[in-house]
Amino acid sequence: MLPFLYSCLNQGAKTITAITLLTGIICCNAVAQDQDSPVLTIGTISGQIAETTAPDLFEDYLESKLGTYQFQVREFADIEALMRVVSNRDLDFAFITPVVFVELSQNLELRPLSTIIQRAGDSYSPWLAGAVFTLESDNDINDMSDVSGRNIIALSEFALGGWLSAVREWKELGIEEQDFNVTFDFSYASVIERVCSGEFKAGVIAANALDSYTQYCDQPLKVLSHHGIEQDSHFPLEHSTQLYPEVVFAEIIPHEESLVRNMTRALLDIEPGSETASVMNVQGFTAPLSYREVQLLMQELELGPYANTPGIDLQQFLDDNITVVTIILLVIVTVTSVGFINAHTLSRKFKDSEKFRKQIFEGSHVATIVVDPDTGKFVDLNQSAINLYGFSTREELIGKTIKSVSADSQLMSNPFTEFYKKIREKVMSEDNASFEWRHRRPNGEEWIGRVRLMKFNTSTGPLIQSMVEDITEQKTLEVERRQLEQQLEFSQRMESIGRLAGSIAHDFNNLLTIINGYSEYMLNDSMDNPQQLEILSQINKAGVRASELTQQLLTFSRKQVIKQSPVNVEDMIRESTEIMNSALGEEIKLELDLKSSKSFVKTDPGQIQQIIINLVMNAKDAMPEGGKLKICTDTLFLNPQNSKQLDLHVGEYLEILVSDNGIGMDENVITHIFEPFFTTKTNTGTGLGLSTVYGIVRQTKGNIVVDSTKGVGTTFRILLPLTDETMIDADKEKAHVNFPNREYTILVVEDQEEVRAYIHSVLDRAGFSTITAESGSEALAVMSARKEPVDLLLTDVVMEDMSGGELAEKFLEIYPDTPVLFTSGYPEAEIAKHGVRQESMEFLAKPFSPKDLMLRLNEILFEAKPVN
């Protein structure tokens, strides 16, 4: 051993002078650094944005806070340029990306003073995430795995959100970095523009940058998902990777503790979103976060100081590097000696550093708590936490646990002891954990907090740091957004089904006009043949039933014509009590609680009764073993907020609650409950009962919602707009037709030959003279040749060459006193497109029977004016 040391010393003699000079330089630099410098430099990156920053305001702010110091912001084109300057300690302070901070911290004593806050949607966040994005129109790329083998563009190989965080997720999917053809371009705008132009299939930048710079693309973009990444509710932007702490503001050259404390305090005093922050391309500052997650990512990807290095032969190393080894030995001896000499100084600095940490803790805008992991009790908390929890002093919370500030309703379903044990195990093993928790303030107010836990070690053992954010408003908005999305989806689905139902109903109506009409004729002609009469009777019943189903389809689609009049709904419910009790049977008890101060609704009386009967029968089916059915009414005023939630106008409504204690429904059934032909019954029912109710309610400009719990029961809540009008007695339908004794001529215009023949047959048997035409132009030509008026024009509404509305307009120019009767199997909306408003014109809906037609002709021809 001695010969080896002698040899080392002998061969290293020439280096002693160099070491002495080196030691002198270090000492001189240390002395120089201890002296106050008139100008302190701050490094930042400007190349990542298109706009030019104006750092003067930031410099002026710091100078006003620190008094004797001047500040100069130095901007660098990219991460690599800033990294080189920081490595040489040519800056006093710097904004350093997380990856560079972790890498440089291995060799340099960089002290984090704060973590920056950036905008995330409509809020601020000290966290960042990567967004892998492509054009929304690109159907070949739908998730992160689809990007493998493509040409992609990213921000920088040192960028966490703009590259490395995505690399980690791809690695988890079995996709390596070499599987891409990647190009780096250190400009947010350029990355987005080059994906937008189609030059690259996908891009990678930070999620908040994508949100801010979408104006650089005139096409919609989509963020690609990864199945293992949950969208964190406190970071509202769409992202593709896990969350990591944002950029760190760090001390590069060691300074006096008083300077660093004042510097940190000045940063924490900057209001989030202020102009002072924004000129440095940040939104604010908070206490420095733990960069442990970034370190773990770099270790996993084997980056920087964690890259694998090949093994070294010791003897070969000594032979090749004897001079270096000699220097190292001398430095070790020197450093050890200096260590003993400066022990007292280090102790003092440690105490100052602890004070410094405390000031950061106290000055943070983020509510922060220190918890004892063994007991779960609060050990310390800052002023932001005291304010957030609604207390006045720290002492009110010290020694309490999260249980004491938790909402009771939550604890019933999530016992605190069990929950805390689970969370504690996670944070102690993984160093961090996050969850959402419903809290309660001393005044009873409940709020939802996003809690992030991080473990840190002390001389007396580990503690847990908890950062809490009130996300109540955010969660409320999320719930409202989901409700509106569900309402829109439901409305669109029902509208689509309604259009289909309306089209089907039209075709059926034409067919049923013929089937029902002729079968009714044949029934009258078959009175002497009982066997034939029975067969025809069944055909006619089936046709009538099919007609009712068609009407239900039109009702569901809200396209059936209803004659609205003021109806006292409560009176109708009372009058229907006997019918309802009879339908329910003895096993089900019916209770009424009708207490509305107003109960007139403008609607069709028959349809109100249809609503009640359908809901009663639905409740009966839900209570096969018997139960209780309750119908309640009340008056309700909807303000702008709750009317929007219910998709209704502001105003007074009659609220009808129909509640049973039956078997209830699950979420899947509730989603489809109002769709036509959807039914949970086996071998019975058409699935049109509740869809008809839905159509009637919506056509009456109301709404219906359902609340149900499996095994508990169901409540249908109906809201119908109230009217100040009162009931008017309607004329009774005429029991028979009595035509005067003279021949009347009717012009029939119908484009379907079978329907035209049927109408001609009905009129001919009733003694009318009939002229038929299959189109509007043919009808006008016939009238031009005839030279004489007819007694009535009966025309279909929707025809190919000319609509019934257009025909009537031209016809009435020639014969202004001739009445017109429109007929159609189309729903109201379609008829209105062709110039026919049923409330202001004579109209007969298909299908119609011979009696229906005769009644309408009787009303038009003989009741409107005296017969001569």
Residues 228 and 102 occupy one common structural domain: no
Mean pLDDT of 242-268: 88
In a domain, 555, yes or no: no
What is residue 415's predicted lDDT score, i.e. its pLDDT? 67
Confidence of residue 191 (pLDDT cuts 50, 70, 90): very high
What is residue 297's predicted lDDT score, i.e. its pLDDT? 87
In a domain, 544, yes or no: yes
In a domain, 557, yes or no: no
Residues 302 and 340 occupy one common structural domain: no
CATH of the domain at 697: 3.30.565.10
**Domain limit, last residue, from 355, 390, 412:** 355
Is a pLDDT exceeding 80 seen at residue 490?
Answer: no
User: What is the domain extent for residue 62?
Assistant: 37-122+246-307
Residues 319 and 210 occupy one common structural domain: no
Mean pLDDT of 821-840: 64
**Domain limit, last residue, from 355, 382, 411:** 355
Is a pLDDT exceeding 90 seen at residue 688?
Answer: no
Q: Measuring CA to CA, which residue among 419, 496, 520 is closest to residue 849?
A: 520
Residues 419 and 530 occupy one common structural domain: no
Residues 387 and 415 occupy one common structural domain: yes
Is a pLDDT exceeding 90 seen at residue 423?
Answer: no
Residues 843-860 as b or e (16 or more Cβ within 10 Å = b): bbbbbbbbebbbbbbebb
Residues 240 and 251 occupy one common structural domain: no
Taking the model in full, what pTM does it have?
Answer: 0.42
Confidence of residue 731 (pLDDT cuts 50, 70, 90): very low
Is a pLDDT exceeding 70 seen at residue 225?
Answer: yes
Residues 647 and 583 occupy one common structural domain: yes
In a domain, 685, yes or no: yes
Plot region of 303 (φ>0 → left; ψ -120 to 50 → alpha; else → beta): beta
What is residue 343's predicted lDDT score, i.e. its pLDDT? 41
Helices (H), 716-803: 753-765, 776-786
Residues 110 and 256 occupy one common structural domain: yes
Mean pLDDT of 655-669: 89
Percent with pLDDT over 70 in the chain? 75
**Domain limit, last residue, from 355, 389, 411:** 355
What is residue 22's predicted lDDT score, i.e. its pLDDT? 37
Domains: count for the chain: 7
- In 83-160 the beta strands, taken as DSSP E runs, fall at 93-96, 111-120, 123-125, 127-128, 130-135, 151-154
What is residue 555's predicted lDDT score, i.e. its pLDDT? 55
Q: What are all long-range contacts of 319-328, with beta carbons under 8 Å and residues at least 24 apart?
A: 322/7, 322/8, 322/11, 322/12, 323/11, 323/12, 323/15, 325/8, 326/8, 326/9, 326/11, 326/12, 326/15, 327/12, 327/15, 327/19
What is residue 342's predicted lDDT score, i.e. its pLDDT? 45
In a domain, 80, yes or no: yes
What is residue 199's predicted lDDT score, i.e. its pLDDT? 93
Is a pLDDT exceeding 70 seen at residue 838?
Answer: no
What is residue 177's predicted lDDT score, i.e. its pLDDT? 83
Range of 105-119, 303-317, 851-865 with top mean pLDDT: 105-119
In a domain, 20, yes or no: yes
Residues 141 and 267 occupy one common structural domain: no
Q: Measuring CA to CA, which residue among 649, 627, 622 is closest to residue 638?
A: 649
What is residue 49's predicted lDDT score, i.e. its pLDDT? 42
The whole-angstrom distance between residue 474's C-alpha and the CA centroid of its chain comes to 12
Mean pLDDT of 75-101: 88
Cβ–Cβ under 8 Å, residues 273 and 76 = no
Whether residue 847 is preceded by a cis peptide bond, meaning omega within 30 degrees of 0, is yes
Is a pLDDT exceeding 80 seen at residue 85?
Answer: yes
- Dihedral of CA atoms 91, 95, 98, 104 in degrees, nearest 10, equals 0
Mean pLDDT of 583-595: 88
What is residue 4's predicted lDDT score, i.e. its pLDDT? 32
- Residue 148 is encoded by which pair of tokens? 């493998």
Residues 339 and 292 occupy one common structural domain: no
Residues 205 and 275 occupy one common structural domain: no
CATH of the domain at 763: 3.40.50.2300
Mean pLDDT of 259-263: 85
| 543-586 pLDDT tens trace | 776 766 666 555 544 445 445 678 888 888 888 888 788 778 88
Q: Which run of H or of E encompasses 614?
A: helix 605-622
Mean pLDDT of 190-204: 93
- Residue 86 is encoded by which pair of tokens? 């920081």
Confidence of residue 772 (pLDDT cuts 50, 70, 90): very high
CATH of the domain at 105: 3.40.190.180
Is a pLDDT exceeding 50 seen at residue 592?
Answer: yes
In a domain, 702, yes or no: yes
Cβ–Cβ under 8 Å, residues 204 and 132 = yes
- Round to whole Å and give the CA distance between 162 and 171: 16
Percent with pLDDT over 90 in the chain? 17
| 90-114 pLDDT tens trace | 999 999 989 889 888 888 888 888 8
What is residue 93's predicted lDDT score, i.e. its pLDDT? 94
Residues 84 and 223 occupy one common structural domain: no
CATH of the domain at 216: 3.40.190.10
Is a pLDDT exceeding 90 seen at residue 408?
Answer: no
Is a pLDDT exceeding 90 seen at residue 478?
Answer: no
Cβ–Cβ under 8 Å, residues 361 and 354 = no
In a domain, 603, yes or no: yes
- Round to whole Å and give the CA distance between 794 and 791: 10
Range of weakest confidence among 148-157, 521-530, 568-577? 521-530
> Which residue, chain included where needed, has tokens 């003694």?
767
Range of 335-344, 696-705, 747-756 with top mean pLDDT: 747-756
CATH of the domain at 419: 3.30.450.20
- Round to whole Å and give the CA distance between 691 and 685: 12
- Round to whole Å and give the CA distance between 725 and 721: 12
Q: Which run of H or of E encompasses 484?
A: helix 472-525
pLDDT: is 412 or 491 the higher one? 491
Confidence of residue 358 (pLDDT cuts 50, 70, 90): low
